[in-house]
A and B are shown apart, each in its own frame.
Chain A
């Protein structure tokens, strides 16, 4: 068989852990090869070994059949291996071309021949159907376009083996579709692609073969055409995974949250929530479906006290919580799993233990008369870590060092443990693998069954459909439809999300 990349029996250790143990990855020329594994399974470590950032303890790497000793990224580059990073490495104020040639600029005398560079970039862009404007500034183009610039960067340097590190995590559904087209055209031109991902849908759609790793162990390689998502998921997690979340019908009781005629402006002073009405009852999960940017974030910020509302009212039980401070809101019994866990959910440089008491540090038993009781704090943290299966060496590890899924589990543990009446979960599973998603969904349903009100915001239709007992479709700052998931489908929701409220009205 004609392999472009062979990584044979790779083992990589870090002090205390084996990140990769006996993993074999063989990529054929011209295929899209998926590398599948949970967060923290060792995918990135393996790719960093291939890219020369780490040296393996055991095993060998062959590139185009020849043994290669890749000791640093420059060697990887010269072997034609390019990496499209998850977090883009671009200079905001430079143009597309300037970013692409950065480090290997075509020179004319002592100056950079930017015109020639632009021409080359334009040619490359056209050849692979990337449709990038070489003269645009990075800060003026969309995230999807920025990713294409990253792809162009590797192509410009002559890469013919491209590693994509979770490329779809930051993209909209439309952009994902376009990216898939781009990957197909790259392969058609003779490139080979390694796609790091934990999204099964994408693998089924674009990949030829898939190598699965679990907890650092190589599990094996399967032909995508001969498998299905359920099998892939159980290979990845090591047990059966439930895709459609099991839950009993909701038994809504009294109204916990009621919002009337709410108006909220964003930071620029533009009205984003325009007279919104919404109720969430005890014992039900209400999902907010909608395209990003229709006022969802502002709505949640207004409820939690992070943003001032201009008009209208928010009541929890019979108590008005309109424009209270975040602390008062949380004391009234509201928990908030924020959309952006790094920006809002955690102080990344604090130990995970201190993050567990981020809202309650001033209360007994965590402190007394302004003096912290570290013993009680860490005792609590350790029990939450255990209960919510947060994988961390110990409670003293900085939150920054944890994987995304474990950070999210820590936040959910903290928020749920406060026994709130209302849980606001904004994109609670963004960027997480199926194992973690399943766990988080189960927890949210458990809380519902305990008689709590759950307000779910998600841009993933699957999640909204699976989890919600009621779906409110948000468009242009209002809830324009209130539907039951079992009485609707993705097509109808899609239409509603695009603002077609008439369809619903016509039904009645």
Chain B
């Protein structure tokens, strides 16, 4: 009745439904009307063209950071450093965006590539340490997140501005922003990066599933001994997985630098784009398609939540709880699997 594939799709879907239901219960308990709460959430994400544009804008970096985490996980590595790789990507894209004077056909690709390269470099270091010295990538990437955060702040303050809190705006020729898209959505911050994000999802699927390189990466991810036996270089593939993952994360940073903001400012803390990427990858079962859907869901929740206090008087924090619950249900998929199998038995 249920194939394995169906169960793999059912688990995230049921997790989302359960998460939303639990959110409704919590709203009831605290005396809010869940129907108007969710209506406000929906309106906040899709209510008019502006909200829709903002939702898409939020989804864009989520897709890329989700792909970054998923790509590493498929290669057997837990890249907690996506957050830091987003930072260095953002910084690199803005630096190229403000420092060069080039025609758009060169400037924009150069800025995007710089972001990918910076992220890749930030992934290369933990990859190298893991491959050569066996240092666990989680430890290194966590530390590198802090290095990225504070170095970016220092660079923005001392080199990319005159002791200010933000850089100047990037040149028009490096911008992903679009007057046309903006006008269509009542001047939301939606930008062309969305197309790049979707394209990169396709790239990830193709690389992992259709190339010999992806075959090696997945093999190393599942079983290093067998990979070595089969003549693959385990170390090389570990480094490469982190580099590619970092490049995806760097692109997520470029979305913010070249698309949403057009500058970089000093941050008091993390953006959470990278950390949310872990949740996106988890919910998307580490597949390219799954990540796109999961990123959409998270984008909708984040943007829709902004409308909840004004329209229904429900605090935005509630959405954080719902997101946490969804992740909880995905993580405890064993429970859901058990329920599905029970139904399966009774259905017979």
Residue-by-residue, is B199-224 near A (CB-CB < 8 Å gives 1, otherwise 0)? 00000000000111111001100110
Q: Is A343 an interface residue (CB 8 A)?
A: yes
Asked whether A347 and B231 contact (CB < 8 A) given A367-B212, A371-B211, A372-B210, the answer is: no
Q: Is the CB of B211 within 8 A of A372?
A: yes
Q: Is A94 an interface residue (CB 8 A)?
A: no
Asked whether A359 and B230 contact (CB < 8 A) given A370-B213, A372-B215, the answer is: yes
Q: Is the CB of A359 within 8 A of B231?
A: yes
Residues of B within 8 A of A231 (CB): none
Residue-by-residue, is A127-170 near B (CB-CB < 8 Å gives 1, otherwise 0)? 00000000000000000000000000000000000000000000
Q: Is the CB of B229 within 8 A of A348?
A: no
Q: What distance in Å separates the Cβ of A404 from its nearest Cβ neighbour in chain B?
A: 16
In the bound assembly, the distance between CA atoms of A508 and B225 in angstroms comes to 45
Q: Is the CB of B219 within 8 A of A326?
A: no
In the bound assembly, the distance between CA atoms of A343 and B222 in angstroms comes to 11
Out of A347, A367, A370, name the residue touching B223 (CB < 8 Å): A347
Q: What distance in Å separates the Cβ of A314 from its nearest Cβ neighbour in chain B?
A: 17
Q: Is B267 an interface residue (CB 8 A)?
A: no
Main secondary structure of the interface of B (DSSP, over half): helix
Q: Which residue of B lies closest to A363 (CB)?
A: B212
Q: Is the CB of A306 within 8 A of B228?
A: yes
Out of B211, B218, B229, B232, name the residue touching A338 (CB < 8 Å): B229
Q: Is the CB of B210 within 8 A of A347?
A: no
In the bound assembly, the distance between CA atoms of A306 and B214 in angstroms comes to 23
Q: What distance in Å separates the Cβ of A416 from its nearest Cβ neighbour in chain B?
A: 16
Q: Which residue of B lies closest to A345 (CB)?
A: B226
Q: Is B227 an interface residue (CB 8 A)?
A: yes
Out of B211, B212, B214, B219, name the residue touching A347 (CB < 8 Å): B219
Q: Is A459 an interface residue (CB 8 A)?
A: no
Q: Is A10 an interface residue (CB 8 A)?
A: no
Q: Is the CB of A354 within 8 A of B229?
A: no
Name which of A330, A348, A372 has the most chain B CB atoms within 10 A of its CB.
A372
| A 357-377 contacts with B by CB, 8 A | 358-359, 361-362, 367, 370-372, 374
Q: Is A227 an interface residue (CB 8 A)?
A: no
Q: What distance in Å separates the Cβ of B7 from its nearest Cβ neighbour in chain A?
A: 13
Asked whether A344 and B210 contact (CB < 8 A) given A350-B222, A354-B215, A361-B215, the answer is: no
Q: Which residue of A lies closest to B233 (CB)?
A: A325
Q: Is the CB of B211 within 8 A of A326?
A: no
Q: What distance in Å separates the Cβ of B191 from its nearest Cβ neighbour in chain A?
A: 32
Q: Is A336 an interface residue (CB 8 A)?
A: yes
Residues of B within 8 A of A336 (CB): 229
Count residues of chain B with CB under 8 A from any CB of chain A: 19
In the bound assembly, the distance between CA atoms of A346 and B212 in angstroms comes to 17
Q: Is A327 an interface residue (CB 8 A)?
A: yes
Q: Which residue of B lies closest to A346 (CB)?
A: B226
Q: Which residue of B lies closest to A330 (CB)?
A: B231
Q: Is the CB of B222 within 8 A of A349?
A: yes
In the bound assembly, the distance between CA atoms of A350 and B90 in angstroms comes to 37
Residues of B within 8 A of A344 (CB): 225-226, 229
Q: What distance in Å separates the Cβ of B277 from its nearest Cβ neighbour in chain A?
A: 23
Count residues of chain A with CB under 8 A from any CB of chain B: 27
Residue-by-residue, is A291-333 near B (CB-CB < 8 Å gives 1, otherwise 0)? 0000000000000101000000000000000000111101000
Q: Is the CB of A327 within 8 A of B231?
A: yes
Residues of B within 8 A of A325 (CB): 231, 233
Residues of A within 8 A of B229 (CB): 304, 306, 326, 336, 338, 344-345, 358
Q: Is the CB of B228 within 8 A of A326?
A: yes
Q: What distance in Å separates the Cβ of A233 from its nearest Cβ neighbour in chain B?
A: 33
Q: Is the CB of A372 within 8 A of B212?
A: yes
Residue-by-residue, is B232-275 near A (CB-CB < 8 Å gives 1, otherwise 0)? 11000000000000000000000000000000000000000000
Residues of B within 8 A of A362 (CB): 212
Residues of A within 8 A of B227 (CB): 347
Residues of A within 8 A of B219 (CB): 347, 350, 358
Residues of A within 8 A of B218 (CB): 347, 350
Residues of B within 8 A of A359 (CB): 230-231
Q: Is the CB of A347 within 8 A of B228?
A: no
Q: Which residue of A lies closest to B215 (CB)?
A: A361
Residues of A within 8 A of B225 (CB): 343-344
Q: Is the CB of B210 within 8 A of A371?
A: yes
Name which of A347, A362, A374 has the most chain B CB atoms within 10 A of its CB.
A347
Q: Which residue of B lies closest to A359 (CB)?
A: B230
Residue-by-residue, is A106-133 near B (CB-CB < 8 Å gives 1, otherwise 0)? 0000000000000000000000000000
In the bound assembly, the distance between CA atoms of A362 and B230 in angstroms comes to 11
Asked whether A326 and B222 contact (CB < 8 A) given A361-B215, A367-B212, A372-B215, the answer is: no
Q: Is the CB of B213 within 8 A of A358?
A: no
In the bound assembly, the distance between CA atoms of A358 and B215 in angstroms comes to 9
Asked whether A348 and B215 contact (CB < 8 A) given A325-B231, A359-B231, A371-B210, the answer is: no
Residues of A within 8 A of B215 (CB): 354, 361, 372
In the bound assembly, the distance between CA atoms of A326 and B226 in angstroms comes to 11
Residues of A within 8 A of B210 (CB): 371-372, 374
Asked whether A361 and B212 contact (CB < 8 A) given A325-B231, A350-B219, the answer is: yes
- Give the 5 A-B residue pairs with the shortest CB-CB distance, closest first: A327-B231, A358-B230, A344-B229, A326-B231, A349-B222
**B residues with CB within 8 A of A:** 210-215, 218-219, 222-223, 225-233
Would you list 15 pairs from A and B whose C-beta atoms are within 8 A, ordered by A residue?
Answer: A304-B229, A344-B226, A345-B226, A345-B229, A347-B227, A350-B218, A354-B215, A358-B226, A358-B229, A358-B230, A361-B212, A361-B215, A367-B212, A372-B215, A374-B210
Given contacts A325-B231, A338-B229, 8 further A-B contacts (CB under 8 A): A327-B231, A328-B231, A343-B225, A344-B229, A358-B229, A367-B211, A371-B210, A372-B211
